[in-house]
Structure 1
Amino acid sequence: MERIYNAGTAWPLTITDEHISQMMPCRFSDFVAGERVPTHGRQRLFTKDMILTHPPLTTDSWTLYIKATVLISRVRSFNCHYRISTASTGNAAPGPNAEQIEVSPTESQEFRNLDQTIATFVREMPRAYRDPVGTTVDPLLYMAHLLPHVAMIQLHEPHAQLYSPNDYSAMQMLAATRAIMDLIYKVCGTTYDLLYMDHGCSFGWFVAGAAVIRFLKVKIAAKDEDEVARLEQELRVVKFMLKNLGERTIIGLRQIKLLEEIYCIEIGCGRNTARASLAAD
């Protein structure tokens, strides 16, 4: 969890999965019922294809949520290694066995593996767990669906060339942002009290909002009014969700303020004020 929510130090990001021996937990229902779950064959972080293999007897919303957090932690570890390598060698590929040559991180095998693993995790979610918002909202399953898209954005954002229509990282970043918006719209269509959602949801919504602002800046420069209107509407929805939480928790309020600061830096506070005045008229 320290890898996800911006730990105060960098040390959690320096621990490799191979050095963590904790087994994946059993299903939450088995834990509550006090059922004995055999330890033989249980997955660990270093188990081959642990992220993409879902044994039925140990898979539920909780274990999928944990796997989604592992995806985020691996992306953050990659980004941390990349920043360290860039600072020390100029632009070397990240990782302990990286050759000291100038190479774009997007061309590294580790980057490609992360990109493919995130996409496969989303695409091959077990059938019984593909809809976090059905007759009721499953907060843990919602996070399991949300976090992979956050991981995809954080993986590609440092390298995305948003002004290039064919840039792969920009396309992946936009697709992940729109996927988060779809999840927001789904929960908006219910009467579920957001206070009972995992508070990590607000972090995911914030990441999507920040990405929307970056794309909005590009579309304003291109004078694409239709896309500008769409992106501004999406940003309003993100702010609405965070405001809903902010009325009762400090975390939502703080993230709205951060989004406004990012908006002013990227686009300018004047546009925001002008549009608010037009709406009032």
Structure 2
Amino acid sequence: MKSPTFKIILGSLLLTTIFACNKTETVGNAGEASMDQTSMVETSDSISSAATMQVKDKQFIKTADVNMEVKDVYDATIAIEKSLTNLGGFVTSSRLNAQIISDETFNTSDENATLVRKFQTDNTMQVRVPTGKLGEFLTFINDKKLFLNSRNITAADVTSNIKLAELEAKRNSKTSTNISQLKINKDKVTMANDNDSESNYQKISSFEMNDHLKYSTVDIYLKEPKLRIAEIAVTNTKNIDNKYKFNFVYDLKNAFVEGFYLIQRLVIGLVTIWPILLISMVVFYFYRRRKETLKIENSDQKS
């Protein structure tokens, strides 16, 4: 028995970020280049005020989105994962990708060569960190940056959603009591099932709400500002190919053997078509006899 009010609860829980109290920061080239000690202190304070905001009788679901450039994506990723472990958080996804820009091989000897690979590495991460440690975590990753492209910190006020969920739970309990007092019939069973189903949805929604209140979600995008170069030792394949490309004695022997096999295949082919050959010989024989007979008759007529 899913009421319109219950649907409002689910819709509210799913759309909390839309009705959020947002704090967004975007840093451009000029701002980063001119950042002095004072602005760094202001940035730290800004992280604290947005990520650690607490208001009496208010509850917030906090999220963050950080896009920055680092010296080494892999090292920064490992450092972030260690920091999360120390803070009691965890990684939900991490996709590290090395985009290869070019590959070029240079031969250094008859056997060896060096593969020079130019590439750029980035990583897209999503992590969950205890909400009380969000400001500390954001300060940590801020220290790892070379350049901050953007940072968005969101605190969504869900106080009314939680209150509405509590009221709906009470209403659901009261409805369950009223249903139990009805006479047993088909409609009572249906109503009881619908009410239990609605109660389950409410419990799951409350669990998810508490989880988002306890752990903040942080999306992180890491990228290296310039191409990196890797020198990889490989084999000189060109010289190996030339070494085994042609062998006169071996190829001459194979050619002789292949010629012998070809003769065998021709003989077998001729034997296979022996009826055609026999018929051809008979036809040719009678043709010659006929031709000789005509020649003799013409000679007799002339004489």
| TM-score, structure 1 normalization | 0.21
The structure whose Rg is larger is 2
Larger strand proportion, structure 1 or 2?
2
Larger helix proportion, structure 1 or 2?
1
| TM-score, structure 2 normalization | 0.20
